[in-house]
Chains A and B, each alone.
Chain A
Amino acid sequence: MKTNNTYQMHVCDQRGLCLDLCPVGALSRRKNGVVLLDAKVCVGCQACVAFCPLGAMRKAPTRIQPFKCISCGSCVRACPTKALSLEDVPLENNRQDVYHKQGV
């Protein structure tokens, strides 16, 4: 996705709004900040898929549980032209912004 003079990837930025949507606690934040989905616990309700403001939680046709980017970096390693990098980006007003706008 092109924005101004740079590109933005359409992937999870680990902001974790989905954490508060999961009825069964299948989503959790690891110590390193990455949000993980435990497919064994997930009940496939698609709430996180639909509510993600980035569209970063996705559903594949093969199974009911969704999937997301876990910042593992394999795309960085695989990119032949080294166009990708994994960076820490601070999120501002995460909570106010999205909780307010999405209802609580």
Chain B
Amino acid sequence: MTQGQIPIDEYQTGNTKHTWDHAKIKNARKTLAAYHYTKGTVQRGYANRTLAVDLSTLSITEKPVTEDMKRLFTGGRGFGLKLLWDAIQPTTRWNSPENELIVTTGPLCGITQYPGAGKSICLSISPSTNTICDCNVGGFFGPYLKFAGFDALEIQGKATEDVIVVIDGEAGAVSIETAPLEETDSHLLAEQLTHLHATEATESSRQKVSVISSGTGAEHSYWGCLNISFYDIRRKCARMKQAGRGGLGTVLRDKKVKGIVVKVEHVDGLGNHPADPEKLAAVGTKIHREIRDLDRYQCNMRAVGTGHLVEIMDAYDLLPCENYRFGTFPKASKLYSPKFYALFTKIIPDGCWHGCTLACAKTVDGYTVHTGPYKGQKVTVDGPEYETIGACSNMSLWDPQWVLEFNFYCDTYGIDTISAGTATAYYMEMYEYGILNRDRCDGLELCFGNAEAVLELLHRMARGDQGAFLQIASKGIRRVKDWILKNGWGPRELVEDCGMESKGLEYSEYVTKESLAMQGGYGLTLKGPQHDEAWLIFMDMVNNAIPTFKDKAEALHYFPMWRTWFGLNGLCKLPWNDIEPADNAQTSEPPKVPEHVQNYVDIQNAVTGWQVTKDDIILQSERCYNWQRAMNVWMGRGQRKDDWIPYRSMGPVTETEYVSRKDRYDAQLVDKLSISKQELEKLEIPKRMQILYEYRQNQYQKLADAVYHRRGWTPNGVPTPQKMKALGFTDTRMLKMLQQKIDADEKAGLNEWGGKYTGDEKPPTGVKRYWERNGH
């Protein structure tokens, strides 16, 4: 494709064009409920009201956002948690009618001057984990929702037939309409709804529409993702970003919602009416310049997006290969970023929200689909991003064309690439061991590297195949483990230890065996094993910067709190540390990127008119983080038992893995466990593995002890009422519930530290019920 300076009107992707009979589609719709609201203006980052849609009762209502709500929950994910707390019960599950799908914005969401400021934060009770799942996703929906008049959208209840929800910020109207003729798969539906709802048949009008959709795969699996559209005026198609984790798309389709449409009248640079636009522009321009000057020497996001990580992960033994057995692979260079750079369309502003110059949202345009129902069509593939490439290396797929095929179908079917890839990699390993086989897999030959079988699995899933394997496999690793064990097909340790899930959610794509802190970053989390809370591998494993349990606990306090903050505000994490100031390494704390933290303090103040400090913004997060953990506890999913992680994430499960890194493991037995070299040589490999297993399991429990203590929780991982009060919460229902849980834990003997301490080692404190002491 020619590159650069192509007039927008003349830009061509070569994609297959679709035409639909708009009048017929519209005429087939029935309006089930309609609501008119007074349009308002956003003031200093807040629309000051939220929108609630109930699909069962067909009611549409507004709720005010109080100053108290802003003070305690800030916005975004915080607002989502507060709304959920008011709406659900501890017994609510993903498919209960009262479960909500919530889309929130945050006070900084929708600013254009700072990169990465258009994120929507989506929350619901996840089918995978039976507790709250939050996803931070790009696309235009969040900013438009706010500019249409609402800081958050709650969807409760279930429709009886397929519907769409339309929020028309131009007319000041919200409606629930039946959608019998609309497409379901996202690459078609997003385009269709964009064209149907754009005020005029122009590119700039289409750019003022954003759609949330999922797909047929979401209907038949627990891996449903939400696709959030952002119309691209050059490519002339509705591109999409995915709220991938935890099955939020499954919830959307369970509610029988095909799509949620939002439309705005007007977009300008000051839609948030910030208190200090000059400051905002100055800080934004500063970081845009940093990106201009440094990105190509740092992450090269503008050229290849997050895919630049593949070669780094491969070099550091962190790229998941063959279900995380290995961290590097001889064929991995086939998926290095230059391979995708050759395929990406270049020299286009690729931000998923206006003004994001980090521009990581790359696409392959005019890609010819070669399997399944859309075979032969030319389409735009959004991505692949690192996680999707990692999901493919995990399944041992080493051809970029198959990565694109997998990426395209996961997106359009509304399936999370991470869960689908990680789970399929597990099924493949079980297949290799004969625990699963062709008969048990409904005829699918799921050996590592069989790309056709992977795509066939997706197609069957999207068709709603009733095969026994398909029915279980589409619900993820946890259910398959139980199914294998129930049938007695494999030994418990192997089946449990190989499957990379925690809390019921599949791991994202990093090998964590050699970084204890990162094991905590995956396990000691709120929603499950996702890298968005803390990414400490380099700090811990490569630079050895956090050697003690106390250091690791401090990192597992600060970084999850800090990263939570992006979700409170409607921001993306990438412009924080995927671009760094030139002198960052000379600062006192390079991993925190102090100058950028100050930028964020400045832009929050510039938008809201507050006068917060670096410490205040951590406090904002700490409130939200603890509230979410407390809600998990309330739902029976937020204690030490729930922070269990599989041994594959801690160390070598199989002899092959041990032998592949024998020098490393042997050296650790000598250095860390004081086994002499002579003794070691007498030990068979399984015995060495056993010693390492016990050591590493205990290390993880000791880490949990240190982290719980640092976070101000009980030894069983429960936030204490004292902690919640110190954070400013006075909700008596919450405080009482936590006290009851702690008392029940006390009776059950669970308020004890989990690690075994020998010699000079000590647990974080020897004081019983330490949180009841004054001053803690």
Interface residues of A in 18-77 (CB under 8 A from B): 19-25, 28-29, 41-47, 49-51, 59, 61, 64-65
Among candidates B277, B288, B301, B347, residue contacting A50 with C-beta atoms closer than 8 Å: B288
Complex contacts, A23 vs chain B, CB 8 Å: 349, 351, 354-355
**Bound CA–CA A65/B269 (angstroms):** 8
Q: What's the minimum C-beta distance from A18 to chain B, rounded to whole angstroms?
A: 10
A85 lies within 8 A of chain B by Cβ: no
**Bound CA–CA A19/B231 (angstroms):** 18
Interface residues of B in 1-32 (CB under 8 A from A): 3-5, 7-8
A5 lies within 8 A of chain B by Cβ: no
From A22, A50, A64, name the one whose CB has the most chain B CB atoms within 10 angstroms: A50
Among candidates B112, B203, B292, B300, residue contacting A45 with C-beta atoms closer than 8 Å: B112
Count how many pairs of residues, one from A and one from B, have CB atoms less than 8 Å apart in the complex: 106
Interface residues of B in 334-359 (CB under 8 A from A): 346-349, 351, 354-355, 357
**Bound CA–CA A67/B154 (angstroms):** 41
In contact, A44 and B4 (Cβ under 8 angstroms): no
Complex contacts, A86 vs chain B, CB 8 Å: none
**Bound CA–CA A95/B8 (angstroms):** 17
In contact, A51 and B355 (Cβ under 8 angstroms): no
**Bound CA–CA A41/B269 (angstroms):** 10
B657 lies within 8 A of chain A by Cβ: no
Residue of B nearest to A95 (CB): B4
Among candidates A20, A46, A49, A65, residue contacting B347 with C-beta atoms closer than 8 Å: A20
**Bound CA–CA A22/B269 (angstroms):** 13
**Bound CA–CA A64/B277 (angstroms):** 8
Interface residues of B in 290-320 (CB under 8 A from A): 291-292, 295-296, 300-303
Complex contacts, A50 vs chain B, CB 8 Å: 284-286, 288-289, 291-292, 357
From A20, A46, A101, A102, name the one whose CB has the most chain B CB atoms within 10 angstroms: A46
B621 lies within 8 A of chain A by Cβ: no
Complex contacts, A49 vs chain B, CB 8 Å: 285, 288
B233 lies within 8 A of chain A by Cβ: yes
Chain A interface mostly helix, strand, loop or mixed?
loop
In contact, B277 and A20 (Cβ under 8 angstroms): no
Complex contacts, B302 vs chain A, CB 8 Å: 102-104
Complex contacts, B5 vs chain A, CB 8 Å: 16, 19-20, 29, 95
Complex contacts, A64 vs chain B, CB 8 Å: 113, 268-270, 277, 281
In contact, A51 and B292 (Cβ under 8 angstroms): yes
B765 lies within 8 A of chain A by Cβ: no
B615 lies within 8 A of chain A by Cβ: no
**Bound CA–CA A55/B667 (angstroms):** 56
Residue of B nearest to A47 (CB): B357
Q: What's the minimum C-beta distance from B343 to chain A, rounded to whole angstroms?
A: 13
Q: What's the minimum C-beta distance from B5 to chain A, rounded to whole angstroms?
A: 5
B204 lies within 8 A of chain A by Cβ: yes
**Bound CA–CA A59/B277 (angstroms):** 12
Q: What's the minimum C-beta distance from A92 to chain B, rounded to whole angstroms?
A: 15
Q: What's the minimum C-beta distance from B57 to chain A, rounded to whole angstroms?
A: 38
**Bound CA–CA A45/B111 (angstroms):** 8
In contact, B285 and A102 (Cβ under 8 angstroms): no
In contact, A20 and B269 (Cβ under 8 angstroms): no
Residue of A nearest to B277 (CB): A64
A88-104 vs B: 1/0 string, CB under 8 Å? 00000001000101111
A43 and B112 in contact, given A25-B204, A25-B233, A103-B295 (Cβ under 8 angstroms): yes
**Bound CA–CA A5/B268 (angstroms):** 44
Among candidates B267, B285, B346, B349, residue contacting A46 with C-beta atoms closer than 8 Å: B285
Complex contacts, A24 vs chain B, CB 8 Å: 204, 207, 233, 267, 354
**Bound CA–CA A47/B284 (angstroms):** 9
Complex contacts, A21 vs chain B, CB 8 Å: 349, 357
**Bound CA–CA A41/B285 (angstroms):** 19
Q: What's the minimum C-beta distance from A25 to chain B, rounded to whole angstroms?
A: 5
In contact, A46 and B355 (Cβ under 8 angstroms): yes
Q: What's the minimum C-beta distance from B107 to chain A, rounded to whole angstroms?
A: 18
Count residues of chain B with CB under 8 A from any CB of chain A. Answer: 40
B278 lies within 8 A of chain A by Cβ: yes
Residue of A nearest to B296 (CB): A103
A102 and B296 in contact, given A24-B354, A43-B354, A49-B285 (Cβ under 8 angstroms): yes
Residue of B nearest to A102 (CB): B292
Complex contacts, A46 vs chain B, CB 8 Å: 112-113, 281, 284-285, 288, 355
B501-514 vs A: 1/0 string, CB under 8 Å? 00000000000000
**Bound CA–CA A29/B281 (angstroms):** 25
In contact, B288 and A20 (Cβ under 8 angstroms): no
In contact, B296 and A101 (Cβ under 8 angstroms): yes
In contact, A47 and B288 (Cβ under 8 angstroms): yes
Complex contacts, B347 vs chain A, CB 8 Å: 20, 99, 104
B253-290 vs A: 1/0 string, CB under 8 Å? 00000000000000111100000011001001110110
In contact, B204 and A45 (Cβ under 8 angstroms): no
**Bound CA–CA A57/B427 (angstroms):** 55
**Bound CA–CA A22/B8 (angstroms):** 10
Residue of B nearest to A62 (CB): B278
In contact, A22 and B349 (Cβ under 8 angstroms): yes
**Bound CA–CA A46/B114 (angstroms):** 9
Complex contacts, A16 vs chain B, CB 8 Å: 5
Q: What's the minimum C-beta distance from A47 to chain B, rounded to whole angstroms?
A: 5
Complex contacts, A25 vs chain B, CB 8 Å: 8, 203-204, 233-234
In contact, B4 and A20 (Cβ under 8 angstroms): yes
In contact, A42 and B303 (Cβ under 8 angstroms): no
A45 and B113 in contact, given A29-B5, A103-B303, A104-B347 (Cβ under 8 angstroms): yes
Residue of B nearest to A27 (CB): B8
A61 and B278 in contact, given A16-B5, A44-B270, A50-B289 (Cβ under 8 angstroms): yes
Q: What's the minimum C-beta distance from B708 to chain A, rounded to whole angstroms?
A: 43
Complex contacts, A103 vs chain B, CB 8 Å: 292, 295-296, 300-303
Complex contacts, B267 vs chain A, CB 8 Å: 24, 43
Q: What's the minimum C-beta distance from B389 to chain A, rounded to whole angstroms?
A: 19
In contact, A59 and B285 (Cβ under 8 angstroms): yes
Complex contacts, B349 vs chain A, CB 8 Å: 20-23, 47
Q: What's the minimum C-beta distance from B201 to chain A, rounded to whole angstroms?
A: 16
**Bound CA–CA A24/B354 (angstroms):** 8
Residue of B nearest to A59 (CB): B281
Complex contacts, A104 vs chain B, CB 8 Å: 3, 302-303, 346-347
In contact, B348 and A51 (Cβ under 8 angstroms): no
**Bound CA–CA A61/B268 (angstroms):** 16
**Bound CA–CA A42/B271 (angstroms):** 12
**Bound CA–CA A104/B351 (angstroms):** 12
B339-382 vs A: 1/0 string, CB under 8 Å? 00000001111010011010000000000000000000000000
**Bound CA–CA A61/B295 (angstroms):** 28
Complex contacts, A44 vs chain B, CB 8 Å: 112-113, 268-270, 281
Among candidates A19, A43, A65, A102, residue contacting B355 with C-beta atoms closer than 8 Å: A43
Instruction: Give B contacts to A, CB under 8 Å.
Output: 3-5, 7-8, 112-113, 203-204, 207, 233-234, 267-270, 277-278, 281, 284-286, 288-289, 291-292, 295-296, 300-303, 346-349, 351, 354-355, 357
Instruction: Give A contacts to B, CB under 8 Å.
Output: 16, 19-25, 28-29, 41-47, 49-51, 59, 61, 64-65, 95, 99, 101-104
Interchain residue pairs with CB less than 8 A apart (30): A16-B5, A20-B5, A21-B349, A23-B349, A23-B351, A24-B204, A24-B233, A25-B234, A29-B7, A41-B204, A43-B354, A43-B355, A44-B268, A44-B281, A45-B113, A47-B357, A50-B284, A50-B285, A50-B291, A59-B285, A61-B278, A64-B268, A64-B269, A65-B269, A95-B4, A99-B3, A103-B292, A103-B300, A103-B301, A103-B302
Instruction: Please provide the 4 A-B residue pairs with the shortest distance between their CB atoms, ordered closest to farther.
Output: A44-B269, A45-B355, A50-B288, A103-B302
Q: A42-B269, A46-B113 are in contact. List 11 more A-B contacts (CB 8 A).
A: A24-B354, A25-B8, A29-B5, A43-B269, A50-B284, A50-B286, A59-B281, A61-B278, A64-B269, A102-B296, A102-B302
